[in-house]
Structure 1
Amino acid sequence: MDRAGLQAANQALHAFIEFAPADDAGTALSGPLAGLSLGVKGNIAVAGLANTGGSAARRHAVASQDAPVVARLRQAGAQILGTLNMHEGALGATTDNKAYGRCLNPWGQNLSPGGSSGGSGAAIAAGLVDAALGTDTMGSIRLPAAYCGVYGWKPAGRLIPQTGVIPLSPTLDQVGPLAKDPATLWAVAKAMGGPMPSASLSGLCFAIARDRPAPSGELAFLFDQACGRLRGAGAEVMELDLDLGLTDAQLLRACLYVCEVEGAREWAGELADPDSGLDPHFRAMLDYGRQLSSERIDQAYGILADVKEKLRARLAEHGLAGIISPTVSHVAFDHDIGPPPDQAFATQYANVADLPAISAPMGLVDGLPVGFHAMTAPGRDDLALALAALFPPLTRPS
């Protein structure tokens, strides 16, 4: 797509915050990513472009240099087309951004692409880019991947450098790619510093958590088919109780406390200035974190540490390669209705336990994409990436 076509398509979607000058995007260099176009979430530094974290409060900030992960992609030959829309400060999962426009999911009228990396998912689904960078705190790569029918990988540990990224929660954040197909995902992941996908799933065991809500209806049918694909690749699928001692909602609340507390530290300057330009809802969440009692903060961090220890222990005890589920229990939601309360119930665990995770499109429910989700054992990012190959790309109706 030429520059004029890109800009015209974006007017309807609001997937981009800012386009790189044509000379900067340029002709791709030689390298493994030559010929691929990429966008970068608006909280990751791209030299010469506004570095806002999706907030009008930082509208005058310009990145002086690429974040290391962006520099790696350029060196591998990728064209960086610009920065992508996001939920303000990465604290939310709709990408209904008051400063840069309501980002729309190209799969349907007024549908949210999810968030906080919503512009990344929308831009790929619309064919504006081949791949994109996102950040993931409680599912912010994998939720847009599921809603937009694309692929998203959340790395673990410090495999991918976080330098040059405006953080929400250093405790939970990761940088990772979304892509149009498995081969593109693997190429971008490799250029970022990730592993090659595992060559085989044979002999591995994946678990379905019996004590988490089970999918129903058409989603259950598609998930059963996905489990069949795993078995067809030589893997075993079993059921077990995770027995983590709390509900999904309780863990979500603890994660939000941590995000609000750590986010308030990152945005302290803007929070102190009543005229900084922070959206009132974002400001209120940060202010809540700023005023949270030390007792509740300690309790939240304690919950996260306990879940991490128990979840990793379950994987080790049963020799599991990973835990699988649908990415979300529903399809993309209308912006004017808002997200279901269980939106991040499945995805949050991989951030809390610092495990690799993947979302891949496993089919359509009512004509809209749904995702297959796996969080894999510690150090097995290669397995997470390999699982993408089980699911062919979806074709969006024109």
Structure 2
Amino acid sequence: MTDPADLTVAEAARAIARRDLSPLELTRACLARIEARNPALNAFVTVVPERALEEAARAEAELLAGQHRGPLHGIPVGLKDLYDTAGIETAAGSAVLRGRVPGRDAAAVARLREAGAVILGKTNTHEFAWGTTTNNPHTGPTRNPWAPDRIPGGSSGGSGAAVAARLCPAALGTDTGGSIRIPAALCGVVGLKPTFGRVSRAGIIPMSWQFDHAGPITRTVEDAAILLGAIAGYDPADFATVPVPVPDYAAALVPDIRGLRIGVPRDQFFGLLDPEVLVAVEEALETLRGLGAAVEDVDAGFTREQVISAWRLVNVEGRLYHAPWLEQQPEAYSEELRNVLLQPLPEPLDLSAAYLASYEIKEGVRRVLETVDLLAAPTTMRPASRIGEDPVEVEGVQLSTGAAFASLTMPFNLAGIPAISIPCGFSAEGLPIGLQVAGRPFDEAAVLRAAFAYECATDWRRRMPPL
């Protein structure tokens, strides 16, 4: 067997089921990999080796007693430092919440534990998740495993880097404007943002109550399906969740997409792209077409002005959530985040226009998805930029890191539909490039199926980062 830390979730699960691998062996291998590689990456900010080994031993004892909880039984997982974890600090990458130790797990974490997963610790995030780089002034920058001078994306950059570097088989992230899919694209892994309301956010420190999503970052589409199956479902503690059935996502994975209709919204997603991203995505679309999908250009269903207007709601909600701390301890915030949170609030009419824009985006995108089954587009405008580089350049245009890396992911948050980023190539410098596939509300199965078919037809996921 190879080093157990190099196994995917599905591979490790099968080895554990065959008794070729024990949860303790797998957990020790991941802890050893963290010890060896994390100092250079800063992907994990908190590691709990004693607790992880205790959980692994408990999982092993259950297996020996004939109790098998499923494919996550004994699988080590990392958690973005927004997820509450009983007895483990959850600080959201901030100085404001440093030393905060919750008394109970977030709902998604509790479901992972019920499935038998082993919690390794907490992964780095941008301060309170407000950013696309994971260049955190309090916990330090996370480095991209493909190039240590580059960002891993954000704000779930620690989770993306940890999975790419094989520190853990899977991790959870959150996604308000792209924070799962951006790290997945820049780190060469898979990141799935489910439908708004598919996964409970109870116990997750919020950025936006209207647009936050919780989901997995993994090395393969199959692994993403396994993780989603464990954490999805109705939760009365989260107003957004709805009591709809949770399919067996892993069982639905078949590499056959013949007849599937895939729309390409060029008007809003292809206007400004790094040439290498454009080439990689166009080749990915040809691969999908070659697999039997009907690939056609479609209107996006929204305008750039609507996206800019609707995004104001995130700033308003952030101001509301952080108001007490901004008043009591403003110095605990970085200057960058403090300036963002304290920017002037929109006037009532502008706020109403923002709500209207968010509704129009939802309506417009869903109307497009009545004519096609899925949408496909680039995940980001360009590959990973250098740490500390802001603004960044795309085809001679200077953009903020937020605009360069979130402009193509944000619309699907505002629409509330499921979207996945999968590897689709590399730049000449060896930096990963991501393809984004989105689908109808609560139709994660179709999104996963298309991503799985593409993954089976290519070998991008087999590439190994140098770190």
Shared fold by TM > 0.5? yes
1:222, distance to aligned residue in structure 2 (A): 2.0
The match for 2:51 among 23, 27, 40 is 23
Partners of 1:264 and 1:270 in 2: how far apart? Answer: 10
The match for 1:372 among 408, 431, 435 is 435
Partners of 2:100 and 2:330 in 1: how far apart? Answer: 16
Aligned-partner SS, 2:138: coil
Residue 325, structure 1, aligned to residue 325, structure 2 = no
Q: Find the counterpart in structure 1 of residue 263 from structure 2.
A: 207
Larger Cα-atom Rg: 2
Q: What stretches of structure 1 of length at least 5 have no aligned partner? A: none
Aligned-partner SS, 1:310: helix
The match for 1:261 among 316, 319, 327 is 316
1:51, distance to aligned residue in structure 2 (A): 1.6
Partners of 2:217 and 2:52 in 1: how far apart? Answer: 22
In the alignment, residue 207 of structure 1 is paired with which amino acid?
A: G
The structure-2 alpha-carbon separation of the partners of 1:252 and 1:314, relative to structure 1 and needing over 3 Å to count, comes to: closer
Aligned-partner SS, 1:187: helix
1:229, distance to aligned residue in structure 2 (A): 2.5
In the alignment, residue 464 of structure 2 is paired with which amino acid?
A: R
1:8, distance to aligned residue in structure 2 (A): 4.0
Partners of 1:162 and 1:182 in 2: how far apart? Answer: 22
Residue 242, structure 1, aligned to residue 300, structure 2 = yes
In the alignment, residue 111 of structure 1 is paired with which amino acid?
A: R
Aligned-partner SS, 1:58: coil
Q: Find the counterpart in structure 1 of residue 359 from structure 2.
A: 305
Aligned-partner SS, 1:332: coil
Q: Determine if contact 1:86/1:118 at 8 Å carries over to the other structure.
A: yes
Q: Determine if contact 1:350/1:375 at 8 Å carries over to the other structure.
A: yes
Q: Find the counterpart in structure 2 of residue 346 from structure 1.
A: 408
Q: Find the counterpart in structure 1 of residue 335 from structure 2.
A: 280
Aligned-partner SS, 1:382: helix
Partners of 1:232 and 1:2 in 2: how far apart? Answer: 38
Q: Find the counterpart in structure 2 of residue 396 from structure 1.
A: 464
Q: TM-score, normalised by structure 1?
A: 0.93
Q: Find the counterpart in structure 1 of residue 159 from structure 2.
A: 120
In the alignment, residue 276 of structure 2 is paired with which amino acid?
A: E
In the alignment, residue 109 of structure 2 is paired with which amino acid?
A: V
Q: Find the counterpart in structure 1 of residue 112 from structure 2.
A: 73
Q: Determine if contact 1:361/1:394 at 8 Å carries over to the other structure.
A: no
Partners of 1:242 and 1:3 in 2: how far apart? Answer: 44
Residue 223, structure 1, aligned to residue 262, structure 2 = no
Partners of 1:352 and 1:336 in 2: how far apart? Answer: 28
Q: Determine if contact 1:91/1:259 at 8 Å carries over to the other structure.
A: no
Task: Please list, as runs of the form range in 1=range in 2, the aligned pairs for 1:50-89 lying within 5 A after superposition.
Answer: 50-89=89-128
Deviations along 1:30-60, whole A, 9 cap, x unmatched? 4311342210011111111112122110112
The match for 1:387 among 430, 447, 450 is 450
Partners of 1:221 and 1:275 in 2: how far apart? Answer: 45
The structure-2 alpha-carbon separation of the partners of 1:333 and 1:340, relative to structure 1 and needing over 3 Å to count, comes to: farther
The structure-2 alpha-carbon separation of the partners of 1:292 and 1:8, relative to structure 1 and needing over 3 Å to count, comes to: farther
Residue 356, structure 1, aligned to residue 413, structure 2 = no
Deviations along 1:177-199, whole A, 9 cap, x unmatched? 00012222221111112531454
Partners of 2:450 and 2:230 in 1: how far apart? Answer: 19
1:208, distance to aligned residue in structure 2 (A): 0.9
Q: What stretches of structure 2 of length at least 5 have no aligned partner? A: 1-28, 60-67, 233-245, 391-400
Aligned-partner SS, 1:22: helix
Q: Determine if contact 1:20/1:82 at 8 Å carries over to the other structure.
A: yes
Q: Find the counterpart in structure 2 of residue 33 from structure 1.
A: 72
Deviations along 1:315-356, whole A, 9 cap, x unmatched? 21x2x1111111112101101213273321221111111111
Give the share of equivalent positions with the same residue, in percent: 35
Deviations along 1:257-278, whole A, 9 cap, x unmatched? 2111111222222111135612
Q: Find the counterpart in structure 1 of residue 395 from structure 2.
A: none
Residues 117-126 or 23-32, more deviating: 23-32
1:220, distance to aligned residue in structure 2 (A): 2.8
Q: Find the counterpart in structure 2 of residue 6 from structure 1.
A: 34
Q: Find the counterpart in structure 2 of residue 337 from structure 1.
A: 389
Partners of 2:462 and 2:306 in 1: how far apart? Answer: 32
The structure-2 alpha-carbon separation of the partners of 1:44 and 1:228, relative to structure 1 and needing over 3 Å to count, comes to: same
Deviations along 1:82-101, whole A, 9 cap, x unmatched? 01110111111111111111
Partners of 2:56 and 2:110 in 1: how far apart? Answer: 16
Partners of 2:51 and 2:96 in 1: how far apart? Answer: 28
The structure-2 alpha-carbon separation of the partners of 1:252 and 1:241, relative to structure 1 and needing over 3 Å to count, comes to: closer
The structure-2 alpha-carbon separation of the partners of 1:122 and 1:269, relative to structure 1 and needing over 3 Å to count, comes to: same
The structure-2 alpha-carbon separation of the partners of 1:379 and 1:295, relative to structure 1 and needing over 3 Å to count, comes to: same
Q: Report the number of matched residues.
A: 392
The structure-2 alpha-carbon separation of the partners of 1:266 and 1:186, relative to structure 1 and needing over 3 Å to count, comes to: same
Partners of 1:164 and 1:180 in 2: how far apart? Answer: 26
